[in-house]
Structure 1
Amino acid sequence: MKRNFIFIWLSALLACFGACKTDDMNYTDVQVTAVNSLFEPLDNKSVKLVSSSTASLFFEWEAALSEDGGAPLYEVLFDKVGGDFSKPLYKLMSNNNGFANNAYVTHKVLNAVAISSGVNPGESGEVQWTVVSSRGINRVQSAVVRKLNISSLEGFADIPDELYVSGEGSEGGTAVATALPFKQTATGEFEIYTRLEAGKSYVFLDRKDVNARRFFTDDQVKLKEASEETSMQVSQTGVYRILLDFNVATVSFTEIRSIGLWFSPENKILFNLPYQGKGIWSGTGVVTFRQEGWGRDERYKFQLSTLVNGNTVVQQFGAKNPTDSRPTAASDPSYYHLKLLNAVTQWDDKWKFDGAVDGKSTTISVILQGDKEYTHTVKVN
């Protein structure tokens, strides 16, 4: 009797499954329409690119429609004039992670597009662009194509993958073997924190070799390649943050006046870290945690006083990897890695001291060297 009941139950279940299975349960692709109108920029618009990380050009187009009423995704595609976009020079998602029917395309990206299309640095040329709309796996390319005339930046076609500073005015001296390395922060972008001596020459090299390519600036703005024994000098001895961008052939100098230990609970610098040389600042002082109702507050980061175009600018270094715990002897070295912050705040992107630091003489060092992660050390004396 029991066996008959189980058999009847299974039969009913299978019959129900077969009856309930309809075409609605099958996966169907969601159709999406093509973009029919491109609004901005206008066809054959001319744009002169500028060397600025914030400069951009606004693109906008008519919204596409999807069969299920959901929001389509969009990509902007660039190609050589006459191309079919099957192998675009460049493509990027629209604003709002691809859901907006517009996009801000930086001048830096447009410069890369122009160079890829065969436009020489500093010259003008045409490229074309269109938009692809998609929903799920369906992608539809717009039939509308517009041209854009780009006056490219004076960037370098052959970009180094490493960079050094050398010369009598540099900390490494005149020997190429002791040239100090830059940190590569992105393709074609380099950064170094180093001391330069006024009235003495220095130069940038693409490798530690007497036959290395040499780069210089004669106005502290435009980066140039030297065709002969060309070098530079600074007017004032100091510690500088030097940024070079070969993509747009620019260079900038920021003088680092001081770096101090910023103690968040007191909202102030406890003591300064004098420059020791070759990208290292180090100072010693007593750090006493602040007593709060919930316990001892030990949060900290670093504050810089810099000089930019004759104006004093305050910046901060904070935790590269967010943390809300004290370090231990077993903590990964990445706990101490640091980055230059976008804003000056009391609490954001802070570290916490180990409990052993409280009330003790402590030596703290900030290490900003091109051949390693930017980091800092904390040593109780």
Structure 2
Amino acid sequence: MKYIFYVLAFLLYGCAEDYELNEGFSVPTDLSGPASIKIDLQSSENILLTWNGSADDGGILLYNVLFDAIDGDFSKPIYSAESDLGGSRQLTLTPVILNKIARASGLKTGETGKVKWTVEASRGGVVKRSQASAEIQVTRPDEEIPEQLYLQGTATENKGEAPIPFRKVSDGIFVIYTQLNDGNIYFTDAENNGVNYTVDASGKLTEGEEPYAVQKEENVVRFTLNFNTKSIKKEIISRVRMIWGANYEVITEMPYVGNGIFKHENVYVQCFDPNDPTIQMPPGISWFEERYYFIATIDGNDWCWGRGDGISAEQPTDNESLSFYELHEFAWSQWDHLWKISHSIHKKHCTVTIQTNENNMMIHSFSDIK
């Protein structure tokens, strides 16, 4: 048994000592790929790039593919990727990645232009770049819609210290409630290293790294960005209040406190109770009345922020979902889109809050009841 062990050890270690890495290899000279591509981000069909090249001893080489703008020299490539499995003489690109490369080259949505690519081969720490390169004419899609969106810039509430998220209303439509300082803003689709968007001279949304200037607003600003139409809408929210549906009496004003939140603490809530002689009942009301909604003044006009499911006003259950408290915007009609306030709040103080971006909804809540 020991004899077999010594023979195996001799074969393994003896061979290892005699082996010398052959660092000789040829770089790719023949690059092959599509000459023209119209990018379809919904397509599952990938793009294949291939090349030649080999090591002198027939061993494995590692390959890295470099991409650059058409006038670049690959010294600072706009994108790079290892070949498939690292040592395969091919690279598979998805339409999403190719679109990213085209964007990095300076192409805007809907534009057609060229990018170029080449290959680096390496072995044993020796790296050689091919002198050959190939071009791909790329057409970016007209409609490119982000999945998420953030507000950035020196004019934001936090002066650009962190991205502020928008609420996604539907595919391509995003809303944010915020305040602005003097400075600049832009929009981005990721918290870090995202695609940036700005507004061009015609007022349209466009990809771009250059922020645009804004002035300080004393009131709350609502931005609605629609990437389906490339449009941006700015509205001024000058007042928000919670009111009784029965007589329009203001229950509380809702001041803006930052971070997309309207909030008022220590609000006294007293419903209309016909059995309480100290309460003045609204004309024509002879029952316990607790229906309410919110009114927002937007660009000088009053709009109802109320219930959106079309169900008659009702009280919340003990374990009501957030969607019960979701706010929707309507033209003001006295007896539509109301809730009934919980009787547990009647004749008590509480904190009333409107959170404009909670679990991708705009909701209101009652807390600190005492």
For structure 2, list consecutive stretches of 5 or more residues without a partner in the other structure. Answer: 1-108, 112-140, 275-284
Do the aligned partners of 1:304 and 1:315 also contact (CA within 8 Å) in 2?
Answer: yes
Find the aligned partners of 1:224 and 1:349 in 2 and give their Cα distance: 37
User: Residue 240 of structure 2 corresponds to which residue in structure 1?
Assistant: 259
Classify the secondary structure of the residue corresponding to 1:368: strand
- The structural deviation recorded for 1:218 is 5.3
Aligned-residue RMSD, C-alpha: 2.4
User: Which runs of structure 2 are paired with 1:158-177 in the superposition (5 Å)?
Assistant: 158-175=144-161
1:185 to 161, 165, 169: 169
Do the aligned partners of 2:145 and 2:228 also contact (CA within 8 Å) in 1?
Answer: yes
Q: Which amino acid aligns with 2:321?
A: D
- The structural deviation recorded for 1:213 is 1.9
1:215 has 2:197 as partner: yes
- The structural deviation recorded for 1:217 is 2.2
User: Residue 222 of structure 2 corresponds to which residue in structure 1?
Assistant: 241
User: Residue 207 of structure 2 corresponds to which residue in structure 1?
Assistant: 225
Find the aligned partners of 2:227 and 2:150 in 1 and give their Cα distance: 14
Classify the secondary structure of the residue corresponding to 2:246: helix
Find the aligned partners of 1:221 and 1:361 in 2 and give their Cα distance: 46
User: Residue 274 of structure 1 corresponds to which residue in structure 2?
Assistant: 255
CA displacement 1:162-188 (0-9 Å, x = unmatched): 11001221124324xx31111222221
Are the structure 2 counterparts of residues 274 and 219 from structure 1 closer, same or farther at C-alpha, using a change threshold of 3 Å? farther
Structure 1 length normalisation: TM-score? 0.53
Do the aligned partners of 2:312 and 2:338 also contact (CA within 8 Å) in 1?
Answer: yes
Structure 2 length normalisation: TM-score? 0.55
Do the aligned partners of 2:256 and 2:263 also contact (CA within 8 Å) in 1?
Answer: yes
1:326 has 2:315 as partner: yes
Find the aligned partners of 1:170 and 1:286 in 2 and give their Cα distance: 33
Find the aligned partners of 1:289 and 1:370 in 2 and give their Cα distance: 28
Q: Which amino acid aligns with 2:177?
A: Y
1:289 to 271, 281, 285: 271
User: Residue 317 of structure 1 corresponds to which residue in structure 2?
Assistant: 305
Classify the secondary structure of the residue corresponding to 1:259: strand
Q: Larger Rg: 1 or 2? A: 2
User: Residue 339 of structure 2 corresponds to which residue in structure 1?
Assistant: 351
Do the aligned partners of 1:193 and 1:279 also contact (CA within 8 Å) in 2?
Answer: yes
Do the aligned partners of 1:170 and 1:195 also contact (CA within 8 Å) in 2?
Answer: yes
CA displacement 1:171-230 (0-9 Å, x = unmatched): 24324xx31111222221111111111x22221111112x3222122569422221x433
Classify the secondary structure of the residue corresponding to 2:228: coil
Find the aligned partners of 2:238 and 2:346 in 1 and give their Cα distance: 28
User: Which runs of structure 2 are paired with 1:79-228 in the superposition (5 Å)?
Assistant: 156-175=142-161, 178-197=162-181, 199-209=182-192, 211-217=193-199, 221-226=203-208, 228=209
Are the structure 2 counterparts of residues 349 and 215 from structure 1 closer, same or farther at C-alpha, using a change threshold of 3 Å? same
- The structural deviation recorded for 1:333 is 2.8
User: Residue 47 of structure 1 corresponds to which residue in structure 2?
Assistant: none
Do the aligned partners of 2:184 and 2:211 also contact (CA within 8 Å) in 1?
Answer: no
Do the aligned partners of 1:272 and 1:283 also contact (CA within 8 Å) in 2?
Answer: yes
Find the aligned partners of 2:226 and 2:313 in 1 and give their Cα distance: 35
Classify the secondary structure of the residue corresponding to 2:239: strand
Find the aligned partners of 2:219 and 2:347 in 1 and give their Cα distance: 33
CA displacement 1:115-146 (0-9 Å, x = unmatched): xxxxx969xxxxxxxxxxxxxxxxxxxxxxxx
- The structural deviation recorded for 1:291 is 3.4
Do the aligned partners of 1:220 and 1:252 also contact (CA within 8 Å) in 2?
Answer: no
Do the aligned partners of 1:220 and 1:253 also contact (CA within 8 Å) in 2?
Answer: no
Find the aligned partners of 1:377 and 1:161 in 2 and give their Cα distance: 27
User: Residue 113 of structure 1 corresponds to which residue in structure 2?
Assistant: none
% identity of equivalent residues: 25
CA displacement 1:311-344 (0-9 Å, x = unmatched): x111111113335321232323322122122x10
2:324 to 299, 324, 335: 335
- The structural deviation recorded for 1:370 is 6.3
- The structural deviation recorded for 1:375 is 0.8
Are the structure 2 counterparts of residues 156 and 243 from structure 1 closer, same or farther at C-alpha, using a change threshold of 3 Å? farther
User: Residue 54 of structure 2 corresponds to which residue in structure 1?
Assistant: none
User: Residue 94 of structure 2 corresponds to which residue in structure 1?
Assistant: none
Q: Which amino acid aligns with 1:320?
A: G
Find the aligned partners of 1:371 and 1:166 in 2 and give their Cα distance: 21
Find the aligned partners of 1:286 and 1:276 in 2 and give their Cα distance: 19
Are the structure 2 counterparts of residues 263 and 221 from structure 1 closer, same or farther at C-alpha, using a change threshold of 3 Å? farther
- The structural deviation recorded for 1:369 is 1.3
Number of residue pairs matched by the alignment = 220
User: Residue 52 of structure 1 corresponds to which residue in structure 2?
Assistant: none
Find the aligned partners of 1:313 and 1:230 in 2 and give their Cα distance: 30
Find the aligned partners of 1:314 and 1:367 in 2 and give their Cα distance: 19
- The structural deviation recorded for 1:283 is 1.4
- The structural deviation recorded for 1:359 is 2.1
Find the aligned partners of 2:144 and 2:358 in 1 and give their Cα distance: 21
